[in-house]
Amino acid sequence: MSARTYKRILLKLSGEVLMGSQPFGIDPLYVSRLAEEIKAARQGGLQLCVVIGGGNIFRGMAAAARGLDRTTGDYMGMLATVMNALALQNALERAGVDTRVQSAIPMASVCEPYIRRRAERHLEKGRVVIFAAGTGNPFFTTDTGAALRAAEMNCDALFKGTSVDGVYDRDPKLFPHATRFEEISFDQVLSENLKVMDATAVALCRENEIPIVVFSIREEGNLVRVLAGEGTRTMVNSTPA
């Protein structure tokens, strides 16, 4: 696997990653380990921004299925992502990494509002920028928020850190003999409804020619290995090899 040169990437993390081995919530020890991985990934001068989901605290769609208004549930989920962003910011700054949180829902007492030019300036100064509250609108996932921010920030790639080590033709947790793809096209992901990211996010990356790199964030040190072209991952792009 050959290494690619990235100047700026967006790292998308699911909220569940912050749980560590806990059944819900935030595991401070695991978040600290994650912060060290992000710190190590930046040491070559890489500019890095982050989007985190909120599923470890609240899921709007699940709540809607139980009778809560979908719009209200989605806004509650956005607030959960702000909590996760603040937790990661705290861990990064304790590790010595200058970090800013920008929220699509303005809340000046705890973080900056999302301003694209300000975010770009932070990245140019070597700060990690964490984008919280998704797109700021209901009915859009944090996957779509990540794809949107990756496009706005002119990122070279969107790295999605998950609990599995790539994209499979079937759910590897249910089918042990599922096949992992080394590379796959956006069109195939959409036509076969492979669960990489939601369809809106995949289509947005396709339109802006932003490759998606899917890898396991639960393997310690894996982010650095994947960036160096050594780790196990799946590359989603327009023209797979």
- pLDDT tens column, 210-220: 999 999 999 99
For residue 176, the model assigns a pLDDT of 87
For residue 173, the model assigns a pLDDT of 84
Helix (H, G, I), strand (E, B) or coil at 51: strand
User: Exposed, middle or buried: residue 152 (CB in 10 Å: 0-12, 13-18, 19+)?
Assistant: middle
Residues, the chain: 241
Average pLDDT over residues 95-104: 98
Cβ count near 104 (within 10 Å)? 20
Helices (H), the chain: 28-42, 60-65, 70-94, 116-124, 142-152, 186-191, 199-207, 222-227
pTM over 0.75: yes
For residue 61, the model assigns a pLDDT of 65
Per-residue confidence band for 60, with pLDDT thresholds at 50, 70 and 90: low
Which sequence spans correspond to the domains of the chain?
8-237
Task: Evaluate if residue 98 carries a pLDDT over 50.
Answer: yes
């990540």: which residue's tokens? 146
The CATH class given to the 8-237 domain equals alpha beta
Query: CA–CA separation, 52 vs 69, rounded Å?
Result: 23
